[in-house]
Every structure is written in structure tokens, then in C-alpha cells.
Amino acid sequence: MEDRPHKAHRPAQSGAKVEKKGKGKEKQRGFNEKAFAPKSGRRAERLGRRTAEKDQTRLHVPLVDRTPDDEPPPVIVAVVGPPGVGKSILMKSLVRRYTKQTMNDIRGPVTIVSGKKRRITFIECNSDLNSMIDVGKVADLVLLLIDGSYGFEMETFEFLNILQAHGFPKVIGVLTHLDLIKKATTLRATKKALKKRFWTEIYQGAKLFYLSGVINGRYPDTEILNLTRFISVMKFRPLVFRNSHPYLLADRFEDLTPREEIRLSRGKCDRNVTLYGYLRGTNLRLGSKVHVPGVGDLDIKSVQALGDPCPLPDADSERRRKLSERKKLLVHAPMSDVGGVMYDKDAVWINVPGSFTRGQTNVPQGEGEEMVMDLQDAPETLEDIVTRSKIRLLGSSSKSLTVDPSSSRTTRHDSSDSDESSFEDEDASGLEDADEPSDLGNGSDGDWEEGPSTGCSGRTTARTQQRPTLAAGRDNGPDEDDGNIAFADSDSDMGDGPRGNRVADDDESDVESLPSGEDEDEDEGMDQGNGDVPRWKVNLVDRAKDFISSSRPARRDWTKLIYSSDLSPRAIISSSSLDPQAADDDTPDDDDDFFRPMKAGKSAEKDEEAPDMSKLAIDEEELKGWDDEEMLDSIRHLFITGGNAPGDTNSDDEGDDAASEDDGSDDDANPDPEAAKAAALAEKKAELKRKFDEQYDDPESSKYATFYDEQKDALARQQALNRAEFADVDTETRTAVEGFRPGQYVRIELDDVPAEMVLHFNPHRPLIVGGLLAAEERLGYVQVRIKRHRWHTRTLKTNDPLIFSLGWRRFQTVPIFSLDDHSIRMRMLKYTPEHMHCYATFYGPVSLPNTGFCAFTSLASATSSFRIAATGVVLDVDRSSKIVKKLKLTGAPFKIFKNTAFVRDMFSSALEVAKFEGANIRTVSGIRGQIKKALPKPDGAFRATFEDKVLMSDIIFLRAWYSIEPRKFYNPVTSALLAPGSEWAGMRLTGQVRHEKGLAAPKAVNSAYKPIERPGRRFNPLRIPRNLQAALPYASKPRTMKPQKRQTYLQKRAVVMEPEEKKALAVMQQIRAVRKEQVRKRKEKQGERREKKRKEAEKVEGRKEEKRREEKKESMRLAGIKNKREEEELGRGRKRRKVSS
């Protein structure tokens, strides 16, 4: 029977069923257009409206993207997940995919070039909450790792909520450990369940990747390849907060504090550190503070733009690129050991694997080897170069500076323990000897080479530039060096040299500097040609010509005059006015007023003469000039009636298009006026042509289709203007005007950094430098709209410390919760309401309104519950707060008239009463009244009137509002200063403190519950006077009767029964007795039966209980084994925090 095969199913070949099936399939095929076509016009209209609405919801407010298009900073891709989920393996795999090299120990950010236009910085986020918060604030894309075999963990949800509070960057989910699920159906079900949950958390259709097992310590190459494809095409919408703040993810960190200072202070002194990284967000300006999360607010000491260590490929670099593997792919990860060079906290380690010989030039060397070889290649010591050099102290001095060997020796000793950054100095300029790297350069360097230049940007740029072009650099190194020594940089050329000359020549022209191009030419000519002619004699004729030409209405460099000269405004203005005499009059006055007797009269007069006034002093001379007809006619061309000016080539239509006209005039560098004129003409023609085309082709097309398009176009135009305006300006001016642009690799030097930051530096913690806006540097009362997170288990209490993550900062503060009470007052709440927003006010650093935040009660990783306590947004920033809490004053009446009562025990003095005169009061029973006036007799008693008569037993109360201010407590979370293994401890709750100290909560005597003793109330009988009683109508007369004194008949009669009656009574009694006995017996029996049944049931229950216990024991044993195995397998000590999905 069993071995017989089952009969196979044969589908019907004909009949009704076939037809039915066929029809059904027919129906399902394709898209039935009729089904979705509107049946009526009205419906069609409604449908149209709906699609239009849907289209509108797809639009977002156009935001300006501040990242430059040409050289954008690398995209930050963060790898985030709970411990043991495979983050490091993913990092390794990704780096391997892009650079073709395996990094063993990835620490800190890794920057790689991923394409022609894109670089990526990968950063792994450890599962510390502080790190997750910081990474969430800077990441552009998050790879959120989820253990597929385990499910979602708390960290994942916490991180997603952090992201939500700080602007949501793009998120790609990555499921790992899927190979641990053996059964295909389970795998499918798990994937589906996890995807569903992930989608509800992010958005429907969010990308989720599946990574199967690990091969060779990496994920499978094809899967990683797919992942990187998604990463490389990812587009990013600018986030508001990051679009208004400059920031930097530091990928390198150096301590520049002098060693000696550290030694003397036993490592405890404040440090001077530099942080390196790509600038992102907006332009970084000098003069603003920065916040380093985990450290605090710091002042920037200096900023320098460095050469890009990981540049995008351009045509030139592509041409030079060799096929050798190392050169091909660039990776920048100074905190990890990449390329054999490791930048440690205070040194650079060069790792040379295996044997290393100098001679092999054909073998490609690592970066480190090249550096060492460069050091060895230096042909001479710095001392030699110095003695040979021809540096002159002044531009005009004919003798060059000479160095006395003995003196140089002493300088060297003095500066022997200065910062180790000098190490880089050397490898930059390349003239160094390998033995004493740090001491040689510094003392001497500072003296002349660095002095005049504004920053030492030259040296580090050189170093980093050298990296990619080492082969070329080695050949012509020394030559360049010579040049460097002789004439430091273009900075000093511009600054001191020529000005010195000019001073010797004539006083006036030192203000009017020449066009800088000519300057440089002149200098260069001199350098090459005549070495021994004094400088001022060179080109006398040329300069005379220059002077004459410049004494015409001068093209003065106002920028330089205002910003880089320290002339007084008066001197600047007066030298610009038409007669140069004025300047000569005034400036010497200013200059040599050393040791001059004070002319009291004059100074007083001057004071009064130059008060802070906005109208300018009237120049009588100038006004006189307007008497002249010619003068009057000379400005006719400035009026619409006046026609063109004589020299003005622009015709009337110049006003038509301002922007284009001006853009045209921007591209100068065209000294030939003819060519300029021609260019201008051509441009104007092109403009006219464009206008004509626009009108001719379609006059409507020039109008924007929608408001949205118009806005976008306005933004684009402004961006184009931004780019064009400073394109041709030199770097220094550009930095002064613009600040440092995003995309630049900068070095930020910070002063007074706590020593712990250096001592306990951990590259696994993200190191961020967040720029602060002017308003954000201050502290004040911040009002926020807050909502307790619905997954947080406890309500939040007013005046309990809470840790906020707001802006760049993480800090602990003490909020007061409040609610708006009918728009009249902000009323304090003791606890946050359930499922509702409320306000919170706290003292802390100011943030711009509309900034999101999230709050925590504790950042410790020990808790198993959801750590995000609340989320919200900043509403208002102020220096005072308006929160009130209710205060009820109670009193009791002591004398009552009709509607008036005298009340006492509410106040303690007449003065207090006077303060509250006219205030509304109320009794508990609801009778409203008003305070009238204080009474003289008992202190603090007053007269009050009510709308009705109050009772003596009424309690009278006054509802008042008492204003409270949040405590001025602000405690930044200094997580970056923690020693490894320690947890940050902020202010504790009172309960925690008591618990830790073993104290009991104090009990207020008045709060204790005692038995309530209410004295019984005695009511007096109603007495009506006799004459009043007599006057009452009969119906109302009180019916008062005297108690009867004599016994009534019924009381005093005797009862004698008949014999029959007696008998009957006896029989009745007997019957009753029998019945009683019967009932008693029945009850007894029933009790016995019940008892028996109960015992039986007990027995059964006992057996069942036994069985249950057995089962439980078994299951716990199994679970324990499983847990143990898992922990051993994944090698992690920490217990996972599973979330039921």
C-alpha cells in the first residue's frame, strides 16, 4: 500500500473549469486601464487635484548646498552597529575594495579616492553612546550594521533616534551574520521581518543590504562591490545644521606642547594641539570659537590650509600615474598604520618591513622609506647653507647676513626642546640632516624665514605635496631649497621689501602701493641681474614714471590700506583727498607725538571736533566750487536728463542688466584698454543677442514655471556669483574675506587643551571640531519643546539632571518643565506629561531656534533600557525665564458679617496684605471674593468681601504664582578626556546619591499619615421663643409633646392563655426544634463532602505544578547553554540588548 506511488494530478483538458481558469488568467494579465479611468468629470478633476498635491509634497524647500562643486570634501561614511556585528570586517573589506590593500588595524578615519569626483572618508563608530552621537552629527551616509541572526538591538534604535534629532543623513542597512541561519525558510522569514521593521523605522523602501559569511576575514567581494556601487551613486541633501556650521572630522592629531613644559608639570599642563582634517559645512572664519565634542569650547590659535593629502585625480596626476599598485591608489589614514608611516601622538614611526637597502632605485619604495632617504640625501647641513646664504637684513643693505658659528650653537641649545612639528619643517624644505631632526631648524628658522611671512603654510604644504611626487622631487630638491632660503616667500616680497624702498624715495607713495604684478617683476629682475648694485638705485627711471602715473587720480589698494596698514582712518582718508599736502600735514603729527608737551587746548578742541557723528564735516571750499557754472554742468550726465558723460562709453541701456555688466568687468588682467573695450563690446552684443533670442523664441519661456523653479534659479545664480567673485583673488585676501572654504585640508591649532585629551587620546573615538556661530558661544536660558521618548521607561522630573545633545555639544543641565497655561503664563510641571509635548527651560549654551536635540538620563553603557529620554527642538533663547509655579495661601475667617468677613492666618503683616489688596480669593466651597484692606488688630488679618456669606468653617485661599528660574548648572560631557575603561560621571540624582551613601529619604513630619481625628459636631436644638411660637400659623407651629409619664394600657395588661392555645404553642416550638436539627445535620455532611473534594483537587494541582517546574528547569538549562555558547562564539563579554521586533 505504502510503496505504491501517488497518482499524479491531471489538470482538466476541457469543460467549464478550463474556461473559467483561462478567463481568470486573462483578466490578471496586464493593466486594466478602464479600472483606473475616472468615470465622471468631477472625479477626474478630483484625481487631477490629488496628483498635483502629491507632486507638491515631493518638493522640498530649496536649500543652498554650500559644498563646492570643484573640490568637495570627502563624503563621510560611518560604519555603525552594536558590538560584534562585523563593523571592522566591513571597514576592512571596503578599504580593500578601494585601495587594493589590506589594513590590519584600522584606527580613526580612512580617506580614499573613490572616483573622479568623489572621495570617501570611512569611519568606524564604536558602540559607546558618546561616539554614536558625535558620528551621527557628521556622517553623510551611515552603514547601519544589524546582526541578522540576532535581530535588532537597542543600539540600533538609539542610533536611529539620535540621527533623527540631528537631521537625518542617508542610511543604508546592512544585515550580517546571515550565514548563521541555516534553514532557507527561516532566513527568508528573518530577512523579511527585519526589512519590515527597518522600513518602518526609516522609510518604506529604504535600502537594506545582505552580507553573507566572511571569507578570508572579509565579506565576499561581489557583495562589497555592490555596496560600494550604491555608495558611489548616493546623492546627499544638505542638512540645515551642517549647512550653517563649519566642521571638521579630524584624521590626524598632534601635540605641540614644548616637552620641557610637560616635563616640569609632570604632564599636567594645558596642551597646545593641532588637528588636521577636511573642512566641511560652511566657511571657517577666524575669530570664532570651536567646540570639540567631549572636550569643550576652545579658541582657535591658528588655521592653515595645507596641501591635499588625498587629492582628486586631475589630468596632470593621471598622466604621471604609474601602473605600480602602490601609486595607483591613494589612502589617507594617519591614525592607522598605512604605507609604513604611522603618525603617533608625538612622533612619526616609519615601518620598514624586511630588509632595506638604499641602492635599489628601481624598486618602488614606500612613503616612509622615501622620507628617510630624502633625509639622508641632504648634501649639507643647515649651518652650511646659512653661512652660504645671502640674506640681507634690509632690502637696501648691500651686505648679506653672516652667522657666527658659536652664536648659532647657543641658539640651538636654547630651542632644543621646542615643538616636534619642526620635524616636518625639515622634511618639507628638505635641507636637513637626519641626526638631529628637531633642534636644527627651529631657532634659526623662526629668525628669518618664518618671520615676515604670515604663517608657515609653506612648509607643510611642501611636505604633503611632496608625497605624491616624490620621484620628481628628489632630483631637483636642493636647487629649490637654495631659492627658498634666499628669498623666503612671496609674502615677504609683497610686504616689507618694496615698501622699504618706497620710504626711502618719498613719503607719500608708501601709501599708494603699485599694482603688485609690477612689483614682483621688478624684484625678480633684480634678483637675476645685478647683485651688487644697491636696491634703491635699480630702475630709477621706471619708478619715477610709475610715481608720476600714480599721482593721477590714484588706483589705491583700499583693501590693503584698510586692513593691513595701521594708519589712522584720518590719515588714510586725507591722503586720498585731492591735495596730497593734507596728508603730509597730518601724518607727521601723528607719528612724532612722542614726548610732546600736551596742548590742552588743542586736544580738547580735537575731542569736540571729532565726536561720533554721522554727518560729515562740511567742506566750505568744496561748496564754494558749486558757484561755478562749469562745475554745475560737469555732473549733468549723472541725471536722466543729462545724456552721456564725455569719457563714458556706456550708453543708456547700462541700467538694464546690472549683473551681466558687472561680471564682464570682473575679468580684468587685461592691461590693454583696447582689448578690454573690445571684450566689453562683444559681451554686450552677446547679451543683446541672448535677450533677443529669448523674446523671439518664446517670450513666456523666460518666466519661471513655478515659484519653486524661480527660487532654485535664484539660488543657482547666487552660487555662480559666489564662485565668480573670488575666483581671481590671491589666496591670502580670499582667506581674509571668505575664510577657509569647505573641501580644504586644514590644520587647526588649539591652545589650552586639557592634558587628558592628549594623555587619553583614543583614535577609535571620533574627533570632531565643530565651528560655532557668534550666538552659540554664549550661555543663557534655552527654552525647548520636549517630548519624553515613548520607549523611555520613566517619566522625567523637573530639576533632575538631564544630558542634552544639542548642536555640537553634549552637556548635562537641569531643566524645568512647563506648559503654556492659556497663553497667560508658563506654568511649571513637576513631571513630563505622558504622550504630549511640553516645554523645558534650562541654562546652557545658546543654540539657534529650530535646532533639534535629544536628551539622555545617563550615557553609561551598563543600562539595558532605552537610553534616549526625550527629543525636541529649541524654541527660544533668552537671558531670563518666565516660569511660574502655583502657590496657594490659605486663611480662615474669624468674624463674619453679611458678605464681609475678617480673615486671618493668610499673611503675617499688614505690609503683605497691602501688596495683595484687590487680589481675588476664594473659599473651598467656591464663593469668590476680594481682599479689601488690612486690619490693625491681629497681624496680617484683613477684611475681605465675598459674593455670598461665608461660613466660619470655610477655608479661604488665594491662588498666587511664584516665578522660578532654572538652576545655573551647565556641565559639558567630557568624554574625550576619559581614561580608558572609565565612565563619565555627571551630577547624580538625589536618590542615587542617597542610595550610594546608604541614606534613607528624610521624612517630613507633616507628610506622615496619621489617623484622622474629627471632633464630633454637636448641633443645638432649635428653640423657638414662645411668643414667636404663638404667632406662627398652626401648620408651622413646632409640635412639641411632653413625654408620657404613665404606663399605657398595652404595657400594663396581663395575658392568660387557654389550654388549647398553650398546646398549640408547644407543638409549634417542637416542630421548629426538629427542623433546626435537620438543617444542622445537612450542613455538616455538606462540609465533609467539600473537604474531600478540595483535597482531591489539591493533589491534582500538586502533580501539575511538579510537571511545570520540570519543564521550566529544562528550558532554562537549554537557554543557559545557548547563551554561553553564543558568548563564547562571538567573544564578547557584554550582554546583548535584544529588542523584540
Q: Which of residues 447-476 bind another protein (CB under 8 A)?
A: 454-455
Instruction: Give all strands of the β-sheet with 119-124 in edge-to-edge order.
Output: 208-210, 170-176, 141-147, 75-80, 119-124, 110-113, 331-332
How many residues are there in the chain? Answer: 1141
Q: Nearer Cβ to another protein, position 654 or 1111?
A: 654
Letter for the amino acid at 573?
Answer: I
Contact letters (x/-) for another protein, 290-329, by CB under 8 A? ---------xxxxx--------------------------
Dist. CA 718–CA 726, nearest whole Å = 13
Q: Are strands 745-753 and 296-306 parallel, antiparallel or unpaired?
A: antiparallel
> Which of 676, 964, 987, 1130 touches another protein by CB under 8 A?
676
Tell me which residues in 995-1054 interact with another protein (CB under 8 A). none
Which listed range, 141-149, 264-272, 727-735, 1118-1126, lies at the site for another protein (CB under 8 A)? Answer: 727-735
Q: Are strands 779-788 and 838-845 parallel, antiparallel or unpaired?
A: antiparallel
Dist. CA 386–CA 402, nearest whole Å = 8
> Which of 149, 212, 226, 244 touches another protein by CB under 8 A?
244
Map residue 333 onto helix, strand or coil: coil
Per CB under 8 A, 488 contacts another protein: no
Q: Nearer Cβ to another protein, position 244 or 396?
A: 244
Per CB under 8 A, 738 contacts another protein: yes
Classify residue 944 by burial, with Cβ atoms within 10 Å: 0-12, 13-18, 19+.
Answer: buried
- Which helix H or strand E contains 959, and what residues bound it? strand 956-964
**Cβ density class 849-872: b for 16+ within 10 Å, e for less:** eebbbbbbbbbebeeeebbbbbbb
DSSP string, 29-62: SS--HHHHS-SSHHHHHHHHHHHHHHHHHH----
Tell me which residues in 940-999 interact with another protein (CB under 8 A). none
At its nearest, how many Å lie between another protein and the CB of residue 991?
Answer: 34
Per CB under 8 A, 287 contacts another protein: yes
Dist. CA 966–CA 799, nearest whole Å = 8
Which listed range, 36-44, 145-153, 732-740, 1070-1078, lies at the site for another protein (CB under 8 A)? Answer: 732-740
Which listed range, 468-476, 647-655, 755-763, 860-868, lies at the site for another protein (CB under 8 A)? Answer: 647-655
At its nearest, how many Å lie between another protein and the CB of residue 432?
Answer: 27
At its nearest, how many Å lie between another protein and the CB of residue 545?
Answer: 16
Q: Nearer Cβ to another protein, position 37 or 678?
A: 678
At its nearest, how many Å lie between another protein and the CB of residue 878?
Answer: 6
Quote the DSSP letter at residue 252.
E
Q: Nearer Cβ to another protein, position 840 or 978?
A: 840
All three cell numbers of 480, joined, read 629649490
Classify residue 591 by burial, with Cβ atoms within 10 Å: 0-12, 13-18, 19+.
Answer: exposed
At its nearest, how many Å lie between another protein and the CB of residue 782?
Answer: 10
> Which of 393, 544, 632, 887 touches another protein by CB under 8 A?
632
Per CB under 8 A, 618 contacts another protein: yes
Measuring CA to CA, which residue among 847, 850, 869, 848 is closest to residue 858? Answer: 869
> Which of 189, 363, 635, 911 touches another protein by CB under 8 A?
635
> Which of 726, 894, 902, 957 touches another protein by CB under 8 A?
726
Q: Nearer Cβ to another protein, position 118 or 837?
A: 837
Residue pair 504/536 in contact by the 8 Å Cβ criterion: yes
Ramachandran bin of 535, using left for φ above 0, alpha for ψ from -120 to 50, beta for the remaining angles: alpha
Residue pair 331/110 in contact by the 8 Å Cβ criterion: yes
At its nearest, how many Å lie between another protein and the CB of residue 635?
Answer: 5
At its nearest, how many Å lie between another protein and the CB of residue 987?
Answer: 25
Residue pair 131/125 in contact by the 8 Å Cβ criterion: yes
Per CB under 8 A, 727 contacts another protein: no
DSSP string, 280-325: EES-B-TTSEEEETTTEEEEEEEEEEE--SSPPP-HHHHHH--SSH
Residue pair 808/291 in contact by the 8 Å Cβ criterion: yes
At its nearest, how many Å lie between another protein and the CB of residue 960?
Answer: 25
Which listed range, 627-635, 762-770, 796-804, 1057-1065, lies at the site for another protein (CB under 8 A)? Answer: 627-635
Residue pair 49/41 in contact by the 8 Å Cβ criterion: no
Dist. CA 754–CA 751, nearest whole Å = 9
Dist. CA 332–CA 103, nearest whole Å = 12
All three cell numbers of 57, joined, read 509634497
Tell me which residues in 163-202 interact with another protein (CB under 8 A). none
Contact letters (x/-) for another protein, 1-20, by CB under 8 A? --------------------
> Which of 661, 687, 912, 1126 touches another protein by CB under 8 A?
661
Tell me which residues in 57-86 interact with another protein (CB under 8 A). 64, 66
Per CB under 8 A, 359 contacts another protein: no
All three cell numbers of 105, joined, read 588595524
By CB under 8 A, the count of residues binding another protein is: 100
Tell me which residues in 830-889 interact with another protein (CB under 8 A). 846-850, 875-880
Q: Nearer Cβ to another protein, position 400 or 559?
A: 559
Per CB under 8 A, 636 contacts another protein: yes
Dist. CA 97–CA 887, nearest whole Å = 68
Dist. CA 676–CA 312, nearest whole Å = 35
Rounded to the nearest 10 degrees, the angle between the axes of helix 658-666 and helix 673-697 is 150
Per CB under 8 A, 548 contacts another protein: no
Per CB under 8 A, 680 contacts another protein: yes
The answer for residues whose C-beta is within 8 angstroms of residue 951's C-beta and 6 or more apart is 893, 896, 925
At its nearest, how many Å lie between another protein and the CB of residue 724?
Answer: 8
Dist. CA 473–CA 465, nearest whole Å = 10
At its nearest, how many Å lie between another protein and the CB of residue 243?
Answer: 9
Per CB under 8 A, 551 contacts another protein: no
Contact letters (x/-) for another protein, 503-542, by CB under 8 A? ----------------------------------------
What's the angle, vertex CA 355, arms to CA 354 and CA 360, rounded to 5? 125
Q: Nearer Cβ to another protein, position 527 or 662?
A: 662
At its nearest, how many Å lie between another protein and the CB of residue 292?
Answer: 16
Residue pair 697/690 in contact by the 8 Å Cβ criterion: no
At its nearest, how many Å lie between another protein and the CB of residue 66?
Answer: 7
At its nearest, how many Å lie between another protein and the CB of residue 604?
Answer: 6
Tell me which residues in 555-614 interact with another protein (CB under 8 A). 555, 558-559, 562-563, 569-570, 572-573, 576, 598, 600, 603-604, 607, 610-614
Phi, psi at residue 735, to the nearest 5°?
Answer: -65, -40
At its nearest, how many Å lie between another protein and the CB of residue 744?
Answer: 14
Per CB under 8 A, 668 contacts another protein: yes
Measuring CA to CA, which residue among 540, 343, 514, 319 is closest to residue 427? Answer: 343
> Which of 22, 48, 642, 991 touches another protein by CB under 8 A?
642
Contact letters (x/-) for another protein, 29-48, by CB under 8 A? --------------------
Dist. CA 188–CA 194, nearest whole Å = 10
DSSP string, 643-658: ---TT----GGGGT-H
Q: Nearer Cβ to another protein, position 264 or 562?
A: 562
Which listed range, 313-321, 665-673, 996-1004, 1125-1133, lies at the site for another protein (CB under 8 A)? Answer: 665-673
> Which of 321, 388, 677, 1109 touches another protein by CB under 8 A?
677
Tell me which residues in 763-802 interact with another protein (CB under 8 A). 773-778, 780
